[in-house]
Structure formats: structure tokens, C-alpha cells
């Protein structure tokens, strides 16, 4: 094994670069930077588009993504969180929701009981055509996800 002082310093990091470490049993292992970043929500990776299935938009917490985009359907929509585990406690991010042009049947289902809102109240989703809203989330523990919704965004008035 080469001496540390003889190893060239890498000033350009990439997701596939490897680090040498030891697992819990004491065995030496290689770990990629992308695996380390995804463990425990250490790195944000931009936005992932959530594709819907029967108007259900599932946020897969086990992915390396923190931020998501949802295109609501002209129907009753739901947002669910999947793969909640110890590995994602502390994960935080934003879900950007875009309403469709036709909103004659646009609605939102209530969240699961492990989703907590400020004051414990139901979210009043904006159902205006083509509007944008954000839902911020924080995984507090394996049984609790905290969310905060802000809707009815519009262009900032210019002088």
C-alpha cells in the first residue's frame, strides 16, 4: 500500500470516487461519494420528477433526490412517502406542485396519519389552474414526517 504522502491529491470530486473505510464489523470497505451522500441525506441532487399512478404521487425517500416535481392531475390526487427508514431520518426537501390547466375535478386527499402539519390541521391546497405550490418536508423519525405547504404563488410585482 502506498504512503499517504505519495498519493496525488484529487481536486476534482465525482460521484464515483471511492473512499476507504471500515464497516461496523471492522471489515475494510470501499464507499463511493454518491453512496455516502445519499446516506443520511448529506447531499441534494436537484429535482426528480414524480410520475403518478392513478393520481397518486409517491415520494421514494430511499433515492438520493431531496427535491421533487409533481404535476397534479385533474382528479383527486395524493402524495405519499415511501421507504421510510432509519437511513432517511433527517432528510429534508421540497416538492414543487404544478396544477393542470383544467381543474374542474382537481382535489387532494388527506395525508397519512404519520404526516404532521403546523397546528395539526388539514392543508387547504390551491386548486387554481396552472398555479404552483410547494410542500416542504422533513423526516423527523421513522414514524413522523413534518410538512409545510405554501400555495398561490404569483409573479412578484415589478415597479
106-116 residue pLDDT tens? 999 999 999 99
Range 63-87 burial, b when 16+ CB lie within 10 A, else e: ebbbbbebebbbeebbbebeebeeb
CA distance 72 to 128: 11
Choice between 139 and 30, residue whose per-residue pLDDT is larger: 139
Predicted local confidence at residue 17, as pLDDT: 80
Predicted local confidence at residue 11, as pLDDT: 75
- C-alpha distances in Å from residue 127, one per residue of 100, 115, 136, 144: 9, 21, 18, 26
Please answer whether residues 113 and 94 qualify as being in contact, where contact means their C-beta atoms are separated by less than 8 angstroms: no
CA distance 139 to 93: 9
Lowest-pLDDT range of 129-133, 139-143, 153-157: 153-157
- The pTM of the full predicted model, rounded to 2 decimals, is 0.72
Amino acid at each position: 500500500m502506498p504512503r499517504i504522502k505519495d498519493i496525488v491529491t484529487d481536486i476534482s470530486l465525482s460521484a464515483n470516487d471511492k473512499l476507504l473505510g471500515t464497516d461496523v464489523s471492522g471489515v475494510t470497505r470501499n464507499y463511493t461519494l454518491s453512496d455516502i451522500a445519499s446516506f443520511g441525506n448529506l447531499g441534494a441532487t436537484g429535482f426528480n420528477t414524480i410520475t403518478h399512478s392513478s393520481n397518486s404521487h409517491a415520494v421514494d425517500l430511499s433515492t438520493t433526490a431531496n427535491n421533487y416535481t409533481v404535476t397534479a392531475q385533474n382528479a383527486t390526487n395524493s402524495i405519499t412517502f415511501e421507504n421510510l427508514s432509519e437511513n432517511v431520518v433527517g432528510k429534508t426537501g421540497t416538492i414543487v406542485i404544478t396544477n393542470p390547466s383544467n381543474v374542474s375535478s382537481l382535489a387532494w386527499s388527506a395525508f397519512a396519519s404519520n404526516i404532521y402539519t403546523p397546528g395539526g390541521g388539514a392543508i387547504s391546497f390551491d386548486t387554481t389552474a396552472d398555479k404552483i405550490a410547494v410542500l416542504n418536508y422533513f423526516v423527523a423519525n421513522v414514524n413522523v414526517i413534518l410538512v409545510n405547504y405554501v400555495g398561490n404563488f404569483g409573479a412578484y410585482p415589478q415597479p
